[in-house]
Amino acid sequence: MPTADRTWVHQAIRAIEADTHRTGTTPLRLFPLPADWGIRLYLKDETVQPTGSVQHRTARSLIRFGLANGDIGPGTTLVRAGGDTTAAALAYFARLLDLDFVAVVPRDTPAAVLDLIRRHGGRLHPADSVSAAAIDLGTRPHWYVLDGRPEFGLDDLFDQLALEPHPEPTWLVLGADATTVSAPVGRRLRLQQRPTLIAATVDAPLVDEVVTVSDSLGAALRLIERMRRAGQEGSVVALISDEPAPPLTPRATSAIPTLVGDDPLAALGTLRDDVRASTLALDDLVLRPVDERGLSRTDRLRIALRVAQVNDHRELAAHWTAELGGDAGPVGDPSHWAGLGPRTAGILAHAEQMALDPRDLGRDDVHLLGDLGLDAPQTVAVAQVVAYVSYLVRLLRGLAALDENPDTTPAPPRVVGSDPQLAGSEPPHFTATLRPDETEFPVYRWDPWVPPARVPGVEPGSDSRTPAKWSPFYLTLLHDPAVLAERTALYNAIMTGSPGVAGALGRADRELAALGTSLVTGCEYCASVHGRRQIQLSGDTGTSVLLAQKGPSVLGDPLQQAVVALAAHTATTPPTVGAGDVTALREAGLGDDAIRDALAVAAMFAWANRLMMTLGEAVL
């Protein structure tokens, strides 16, 4: 190891030791039991760790081993296979050392865990085969996979018990985290020849007994009841981590902290878990992918920043400006783009127009990107960044409107075009996609303006997260298969999720929202597809056709009026969705969960419309 690298390693180990000293020993709390029982119950409260988990110890051990072994140095990208609190703790230590961290997560990872990983600076990389994907990333130069068996010490526990009536516990009780900590703890107990037995709420290595209850405190109380029946005195320690904490601990309401702080994506916490999890995963897949496919993270974040600016989303703009640092440059001032070079200036100009009005882009504009040196995957990547951020700004704006509209002070309902939306803005304009004499929607085909990817060498539809058939549109998006898979999952969750769940928006009304958004954006292809789908689901052959012919003035049903108004105000650039839209939906009988569904649909079609309209064209 070069001397400079060894100096960095020494500084890194010192930073970890300093963090350990700052956080100190996790407390051992005495749980109140009757004194005549002769049994003491202690709660070893790991929730006070910076990441709220006993896995903080595991992560510290893995990082220290990698440093001492010469595997981690300045500029190393750290990788962990698994979406759990160990990954969140590793992200914490990676950020402490100013290293990049990628968590390769299963696609069904709970959104709360994804929140926690991102909160501590980690990037998300969803995969079907987590271990294989992590191993593949680990073959890259200066990438290191954190795995193996960490040392895991609880010596501080026995130091804390030294002056207690029963310093050698009868039982040490672990919760759901036992699968990763039981083996190192068990080995340590055996090597030190301690009599303490391990119990856990799940089956795990070196566990002496499994107590099938929901948390470690409940398991400890069951063991204490057994000790009482046997007339046995002693002590029991319950390790409190990654579970609802009992009243004596600081964290009493949540198993895992949600995303907090100045990250605008914290507002996603009210969404359904499947929508939220895919949105969080896509944020990294689109803006910070492990495979940049020729479009750098700086390029992507500059595009995202410009799209946030033209949509007047100041929180996202500030967030990405801070993430870019000095690379943000003159993104906010087009007159200075030339100083970034012709390639970057051309990308930003294309992205800005796509965000503002995709109707103004055509085949020649895509060819201009080719003249700047962008190939098909890079062109698709630019489109995905613009489209994803267009979705995100509208989703966040709509969720903010829900918060702005408490029941105690309802805003007046809004009808499309009946009032000014924002200072200086125009009411939404609907594009008539049907003539007065047309009574049904035409069936279009879609022709791409960029060469599609090759059909994969597998049976189409064999992966449940990819399209059922490889249409030209999906083959075009297949230039980035990871984004295509996650976006498909998000689309399905938004358009078909929560079937039969109380409070969810009906499928036909979701299609009406998709149609309303597409008519404002001007996407004839999407309007045709979702107009026909709304008719199929509702059995109503008139509403969608009239809406596509004449606009929202033909709608007589208050719920349909409110859904279309919400969609229209979401579709504008910048989005003008507000408290009045929420009031109208509530007065039409929708609860907040259904309103969130409608917002998600409208935001998703700001994404879908832009891809359809700027990567190809609808042809009869």
- Per residue in 285-344, pLDDT (tens digit) is 999 999 887 899 999 999 999 999 999 999 999 999 999 999 998 999 999 999 999 999
Tell me the one-letter amino acid at 391: Y
- Cβ–Cβ < 8 Å for 99, 109: no
Question: 353: exposed, middle or buried (C-beta count within 10 Å: 0-12, 13-18, 19+)?
Answer: middle
The answer to whether position 533 is within a domain reads yes
- Of the two residues 249 and 457, the one the predictor is more confident about is 457
Q: How far apart are CA 65 and CA 13, in angstroms?
A: 10
pLDDT value at position 248? 40
- For residue 374, the 8-state DSSP code is -
Specify if 405 maps to a domain: no
Tell me which H or E stretch contains 535: helix 524-538
Q: Which amino acid is at 198?
A: I
**What is the chain's mean pLDDT, rounded?**
88
Of 270, 576, 255, give the one whose Cα is nearest residue 417. Answer: 576
For the chain, what percentages of helix, strand and coil (3-state, to nearest 5) are there?
55, 10, 40
User: pLDDT tens across 218-273, in order?
Assistant: 899 999 999 999 999 999 999 888 654 444 433 332 332 333 346 899 899 899 99
Do 239 and 310 lie in one domain? The reply is no
Rounded distance, CA 95 to CA 306, Å?
A: 27
Per the DSSP assignment, residues forming a β-bridge with 144 are 78
Measured from the Cβ of residue 398, the count of other Cβ atoms closer than 10 Å reads 25
| 383 domain-assigned | yes
Q: What is the model's pLDDT at position 394?
A: 98
- Please tell me whether residues 288 and 237 are part of one structural domain: no
Task: For residue 406, give both structure tokens.
Answer: 């408490």
Residues in the chain: 620
Answer yes or no: is 400 within a domain: no
Q: Provide mean pLDDT across the span 199-208.
A: 93
Tell me the C-alpha distance between 165 and 232, whole Å: 14
Residues 258 and 288 in one domain: no
Separation of alpha carbons 61 and 417, rounded Å: 60
The full 3-state SS of 445-483, as one line of letters, equals EEEECCCCCCCCCCCCCCCCCCCCCCCHHHHHHCCCHHH
For residue 462, pLDDT over 90 is answered with no
Q: Cβ–Cβ contacts within 10 Å for residue 558, how many?
A: 15
Percentage of the chain lying above the pLDDT 90 cut: 67
Residue that has been written with the tokens 């859904």 in this structure: 563
Q: Which of 395, 422, 441 is the last residue of a domain?
A: 395
Q: Give the pLDDT of residue 405.
A: 54
Residues in CB range of 136: below 8 A, 6 or more apart? none
Burial of 262 per CB tally in 10 Å (0-12, 13-18, 19+): exposed
Structure tokens at 574: 């910048």
- 564 CB contacts (<8 Å, ≥6 apart)? 416, 512, 513, 516, 547, 552, 555
Asked whether residue 548 falls in the same domain as residue 515, the answer is yes
Helix (H, G, I), strand (E, B) or coil at 618: strand
pLDDT tens for 540-563 read 999 999 999 999 988 889 999 999
Give the confidence band of 55 by pLDDT, cuts at 50, 70, 90: confident
Are 124 and 39 within one domain? Answer: yes
Domain that holds residue 495: 410-619
User: Which of 66-70, 130-134, 258-262 has the lowest average pLDDT?
Assistant: 258-262
Say yes or no: 120 and 57 in one domain: yes
Alpha helices in 372-452 (DSSP H): 376-404
466 and 537 inside one domain:
yes
Q: What is the CATH number of the domain that holds 93?
A: 3.40.50.1100
**Which pLDDT does position 603 carry in this prediction?**
98
Q: Is residue 235 within 8 Å of 164, Cβ to Cβ? A: yes
What six digits make up the tokens of 476? 């075009």
For the beta sheet containing 77-81, the strands, ordered from the edge strand earlier in sequence to the opposite edge, are 123-127, 100-106, 77-81, 143-145
Query: Is 90 exceeded by the pLDDT of residue 494?
Result: yes
DSSP state of 242: S
Encode burial over 171-201: b for 16+ CB neighbours within 10 A, e otherwise.
bbbbbbbbebbbbbbbebbeeeeeebbbbbb
Q: Considering the domain boundaries, does residue 401 fall inside one?
A: no
Residue 333 token pair:
């001032």
- pLDDT for 250: 34
What's the structural domain count of the chain? 3
Residue at which a domain ends, from 395, 418, 437: 395
Dist CA 103 CA 145 (whole Å): 10
Instruction: Assess if residue 555 is contained within a domain.
Output: yes
Q: What is the pLDDT of residues 509-532, one digit of tens each?
A: 999 999 999 999 999 999 999 999
DSSP 8-state code for residue 415 = -
Q: Are residues 271 and 289 in the same domain?
A: no
User: Are 124 and 206 within one domain?
Assistant: yes
417 and 296, same structural domain?
A: no
pLDDT score of 468? 55
Q: Tell me the mean pLDDT in the region 50-57.
A: 83
Asked whether residue 217 is domain-assigned, the answer is yes
- Is the pLDDT confidence value at 418 over 70? no
* Identity of residue 9: V
pLDDT at 386 over 80: yes
Residues 524 and 380 in one domain: no
pLDDT top residue among 155 and 38: 38
- What percent of the chain lies above the pLDDT cut of 70? 89
Radius of gyration of the chain (CA): 28
* 231: helix, strand or coil: coil
Q: What is the pLDDT of residues 168-191, one digit of tens each?
A: 999 999 988 788 788 888 988 999
- Round to whole Å and give the CA distance between 492 and 507: 12
Q: Are residues 211 and 355 in the same domain?
A: no
**What is the DSSP track for 324-341?**
HGGGGTTTT-GGGGGGG-
**Where among 275, 294, 317 does a domain terminate?**
275
* Residue of 117, 126, 134 whose CA lies nearest to 78: 134
Q: What is the CATH number of the domain that holds 518?
A: 1.20.1290.10
Q: Determine, yes or no, domain membership for 174.
A: yes
Query: Per-residue pLDDT for 446 more than 80?
Result: yes
Burial zone of 143 (CB within 10 Å; 0-12 exposed, 13-18 middle, 19+ buried): middle
